[in-house]
Amino acid sequence: MPDNPFATEAAAITYARGRPDYSGVISPIIRRMLGLDEPVPLAVDIGSGTGISTMALAPLAVQVIGVEPSLSMLERAAAAPNVTYRRGSAEALPLENESCDLVSVGSALHWFDRQRFLGEASRVAKPEAWLVVHDHWFAGQMEGEARFEDWIKASYLQRYPPPERDRSWRPPADLGEWRHVRWERYDHSITFDAEHWPTTS
């Protein structure tokens, strides 16, 4: 995979200031899908960025560790009493063998060497642990304005093409020691205008 173009100071500032907070949407979905009646002892969020995906795990675990290679992102990471952060990569996790009850990746899998990551996830996970992969992306749609999607495709993406990455969102054929259980799509509407950053609605 190419170098991650988001691992810069400018990207960290932009993420911390303007990336929509979807943690409150993802957290109950994870709880429901895994059937969690009480917090697990330890959850790890890999590719934590500025901590939005990490905060999604805070209500689900006694202790949460966010792992992120970018110091700029870590310096701006969201805080919670049960959350700590470590610098590291998905391919070389700074975690002990069989230490994690829940391994999660939010909007970062497309930057990983997937097979190396799956091997590391297997190493740090307890035998009955879960691996949760979720993504959050801009669909390029506007409620009540069908022309917006056409403009995104014809103008915006031509001027600002997305960086190269593994854009597949289905589980890979080879999951190593992991087994795919289920997936679902969710919607997260945000409100914004030309003068303001996005806000969650």
**Residue 49 is which amino acid?**
G
Per-residue pLDDT reduced to its tens digit, 181-193:
888 887 777 776 6
Residue 66, pLDDT score = 98
Stretch 80-102: mean pLDDT: 98
Residue 12, pLDDT score = 87
Higher-scoring residue by pLDDT: 95, 152 = 95
Task: Count the helices and strands in the chain (H runs, E runs).
Answer: 7, 7
User: Would you state the CATH architecture of domain 9-184?
Assistant: 3-Layer(aba) Sandwich (3.40)
**E strand spans, the chain:** 40-46, 61-68, 83-87, 100-106, 125-134, 190-193, 196-200
Is 164 a residue whose pLDDT tops 80? no
Residue 196's pLDDT band, with cuts at 50, 70 and 90, is: low
Stretch 168-174: mean pLDDT: 62
In angstroms, the first-to-last Cα distance of the chain is 34
Identify the three-state secondary structure at position 154: helix
Residue 191, pLDDT score = 76
Is the C-alpha dihedral spanning 195, 152, 5, 114 positive or negative? Answer: positive
β-pairing, 61-68 vs 83-87, is: parallel
Dihedral angle computed from the Cα positions of residues 33, 64, 117 and 132, in that order, rounded to the nearest 10 degrees: 10
Residue 141's pLDDT band, with cuts at 50, 70 and 90, is: confident
Is 103 a residue whose pLDDT tops 90? yes
Residue 1, pLDDT score = 39
Which pTM was predicted?
A: 0.84
Residue 175, pLDDT score = 78
Higher-scoring residue by pLDDT: 81, 5 = 81
Identify the three-state secondary structure at position 117: helix
β-pairing, 190-193 vs 196-200, is: antiparallel
- Quick one: what percent of the chain has pLDDT higher than 70? 87
Is 131 a residue whose pLDDT tops 70? yes
